[in-house]
Amino acid sequence: MDAVIVITITLTLLVLFLLSGLYIHSVLFACGIIGIILLEGFDILPGLLGNEPFNRVASYTLTTIPLYVLMAQFILKADIVKDIFYLVHKVSRGKNGALGVLTMIIGGLLGAVSGSGTATAASLGQVAVPELRRHGYSGPLAGAIAAAAGSLSGVIPPSIILILYGVATETPIGSLFIGSVIPGILCMLVFIAVMLVYYKMEKKQHVAQDEVAATVEEAHYVSVPRLITVIFISFLVMAVIFVGIYSGLFTPTEAGAVGSFVALLAALVLGKVNFNFIKYSVIETLRLTGMVLIIMIGAQIFGRFISLSLIPRKLIAMLEPIMDTPALVLIVISVVLFIMFMFIEGAAVILMSIPVLLPIINAMQIDILWFGVFVGVICTIGLLTPPVGLSVYAVAGVSNIRLEPIFRIGMVFALAALVVVCGLMILFPELATYLPNSMDS
């Protein structure tokens, strides 16, 4: 059968299966198998479905995923997030604008110690949204702040998205982590600027300041010794990840293991460790890790179809007229990825798009590490956009705020970051490459 017809049939099925609500790993696996059979027949399947799926996930590099997820679970279930926000609430007393700024900064720091955007957004939705609303922020703006702060873990290391990109492209994960620091901070600054503009607009409209009676202070009192312990633990975990990797003391996998151990010790010191603590931390780690590995297997089969169908070569031929202008091609890729992240979970987008995009990036001689950080930024943005903005769903679920108004404000956060951060990265690639290059030297 003609390759163009097969590609059309397979991509049509992909869209239909996604719209029907099937799991993404099933969709990728089924579409990959159907496309390969139509192209090559059944004879290729035994070799394809033999050891390759196992070899794909039996990778030492992938051990970073359960380690960082486990570290995130220990930190979240030890109530360290609530304790840190209690401190933020105390520091910003009487300064309503500062409370929003500090909430965004805390979201970035929590992303740096947890790697889980959805979990961070849900935690901030529980503890930050009520306090933000009491200090004059509308419900939708408070929800959007929590969602944006949580989404920062998509680019601020240790990001699961960056780990998957590193595995898919054989790029050093430690370099990706270090390279994403400056773009991650830029995303945070853009979110803060948008938040302040919205807050000033709402202040002029005299938004009621007594929407929520409950406060973090009433619900969650923290003693001074515990606060000191929590602050020390947070900085220690970040030091293990950033300083350890940057100095070469730890590999990314070792940093995840040490970070998990430090988080467990912290939970012990804070008196949170019991049977349920261990049980739920391990179950959640297994669930998330299993989900990622199954998606990887499906994406590998789909990726093989992409290779056999020569889609990358056809796309390069289509883009030939603008290949001499890499910035224009990157803008096109940004828009395509932005739309994909709007509809599909981030890990699946990385694993299904990289086989297509990598040949184009190589053809334009663009730095693979830079492109990984660039994709991480777009993934961060995708966590805020409808209809699959996972950070927004997490916040809405725990705060009982309607999705639509949060998404409306979240889209403004997302578009601002897309234009400013992605634009600056295209104009100044050193934003992502300077720190990794200095680490290598």
pLDDT in tens, 78-131: 877 677 767 766 766 656 677 788 888 877 776 655 555 666 677 677 777 877
Q: Is the pLDDT of residue 211 over 50?
A: no
Yes or no: say if 121 and 82 are a contact pair by the CB < 8 Å rule. no
Q: Is the pLDDT of residue 292 over 80?
A: no
Q: What is the mean pLDDT of the chain?
A: 80
Rounded to two decimals, what is the model's pTM?
0.74
The C-alpha torsion from 201 through 207 and 212 to 218, rounded to 10°, is 70
pLDDT of 101 reads 84
Between 402 and 371, the more confident residue is: 371
pLDDT in tens, 17-72: 878 878 878 888 899 899 989 988 888 777 777 777 777 788 777 787 788 778 87
Yes or no: say if 205 and 138 are a contact pair by the CB < 8 Å rule. no
pLDDT of 388 reads 64
pLDDT of 99 reads 77
Q: For residue 128, which of 110, 143, 148 has the smallest C-alpha distance?
A: 143
CA distance 112 to 124: 15
Q: Is the pLDDT of residue 13 over 80?
A: yes
Residue 30's CB is within 10 A of a number of other CB atoms, namely 18
pLDDT in tens, 387-400: 667 778 778 877 88
- Sequence-separated (6 or more) residues with CB below 8 Å from residue 392: 121, 143, 144, 147, 383, 384, 386, 403, 406, 407, 410
pLDDT of 210 reads 44
